[in-house]
């Protein structure tokens, strides 16, 4: 059999606007798995959140994998183990927090269990974020009490995107050889180790699985999905995707994330090939 690997973003792609999977998408995914194909969640979410979501979706059997933190962690759901991890130097994390604080931006990071915020950011922003991704947060007086190296930092502003864009430019100017940063939605600026993105993760995971790139299909809707869409053998943007995501894609779905868009992709590029 010509095994395919399907890489799926979560929010705005696999999940509908209620953060649920539609019945049509669920059935199509499990039809692909039954045929021996691989399904890989490729998300900017933390590992804890991605695992919880995979469990809710029933994507826990052999052939199910995760990419978390935009490529910072590759995880085998069937075996329950980390395959790859790349983290951030703590001194850089502290400096990023200092600059975000000086700009009065919400900033957070992660350990193996929690979203980590300083006391000044124990607010509605982190509670809204955690509610969306099925995690809890922990508060520290000072980020310098953190001892474990995190995989990602996230800056958020639900009201003023320009402030986050200015912060993005500061990071690019100061840490271009150490950090990459990009938006995963209009409000979230993802800050990760240089060279990490969903595209490099797709390439790594394909090599681990022994599946050539031409047998990969990837679907996304946002800026942080573009490298994944470009790297895949067939890159797909959702109908509800950004214009940049659509421009990068080989195919744009006729159905959106609320109406079985992933089932459309599976039917067209996985099961009928």
**3-state per-residue secondary structure call for 63-103:** CEEEEEHHHCEEEECCCCEEEEECCCCHHHHHHHHHHHHHC
**Domain containing residue 236: CATH number:** 3.40.50.1000
Which pTM does this prediction carry?
A: 0.90
Q: How many CB atoms sit inside 10 A of residue 3's CB?
A: 14
Same domain, 54 and 34: yes
**Domain containing residue 153: CATH number:** 3.30.1240.10
Same domain, 134 and 180: yes
Same domain, 116 and 73: no
Q: What does the alpha-carbon distance between residue 123 and residue 145 come to, in Å, rounded to a whole number? A: 20
Q: What is the pLDDT of residues 168-202, one digit of tens each?
A: 999 999 999 999 999 999 999 999 999 999 999 99
Range of the domain at 156: 90-193
Look at residue 151 and give its three-state secondary structure: coil
Same domain, 36 and 111: no
Same domain, 187 and 112: yes
Same domain, 97 and 43: no
Q: Report the percentage of the chain scoring pLDDT > 90.
A: 93
Is pLDDT above 70 for 251?
Answer: yes
Domain boundary among 170, 193, 216: 193
- Whole-number pLDDT of residue 147: 93
Same domain, 136 and 107: yes
- Whole-number pLDDT of residue 56: 86
* pLDDT band per the 50, 70, 90 thresholds, residue 273: low
Q: Which residues make Cβ contacts (< 8 Å) with residue 109, sequence separation at least 6?
A: 93, 97, 115, 116, 143, 146, 150, 152, 153, 154
Q: How many domains does the chain fold into?
A: 2
Same domain, 75 and 201: yes
Q: Which residue has the tokens 């868009």?
A: 261
Cα dihedral sign, 242-162-131-142? positive
Look at residue 200 and give its three-state secondary structure: helix
Q: What is the pLDDT of residues 81-137, one digit of tens each?
A: 999 999 999 999 999 999 999 999 999 999 999 999 999 999 999 999 999 899 999
């Amino acid at each position: 059999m010509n095994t395919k690997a399907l890489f799926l973003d979560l929010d705005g792609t696999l999940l509908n606007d209620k953060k649920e999977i539609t019945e049509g998408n669920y059935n199509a995914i499990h039809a692909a798995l039954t045929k021996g194909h691989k399904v890989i969640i490729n998300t900017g979410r933390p590992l804890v959140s991605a695992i919880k979501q995979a469990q809710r979706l029933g994507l826990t059997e052999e052939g199910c994998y995760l990419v978390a933190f935009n490529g910072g962690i590759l995880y085998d759901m069937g075996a329950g183990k980390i395959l790859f991890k790349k983290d951030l130097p703590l001194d850089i994390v502290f400096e990023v927090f200092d600059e975000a604080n000086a700009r009065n931006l919400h900033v957070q990071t992660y350990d193996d269990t929690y979203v980590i915020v300083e006391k000044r950011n124990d607010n509605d922003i982190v509670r809204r974020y955690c509610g969306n991704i099925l995690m809890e947060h922990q508060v520290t007086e000072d980020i310098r009490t953190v001892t474990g190296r995190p995989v990602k930092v996230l800056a958020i502003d639900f009201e003023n995107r320009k402030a986050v864009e200015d912060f993005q430019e500061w990071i690019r100017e100061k840490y271009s050889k150490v950090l990459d940063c990009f938006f995963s939605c209009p409000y979230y600026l993802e800050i990760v180790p240089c060279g990490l993105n969903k595209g490099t993760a797709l390439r790594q995971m394909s090599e681990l699985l022994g599946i050539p790139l031409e047998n990969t299909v990837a679907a996304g809707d946002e800026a942080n999905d573009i490298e994944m869409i470009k790297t895949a053998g067939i890159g797909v943007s959702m109908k509800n995707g950004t214009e940049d995501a659509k421009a990068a894609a080989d195919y744009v779905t006729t159905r959106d994330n609320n109406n079985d868009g992933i089932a459309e992709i599976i039917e067209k590029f996985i099961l009928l090939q």
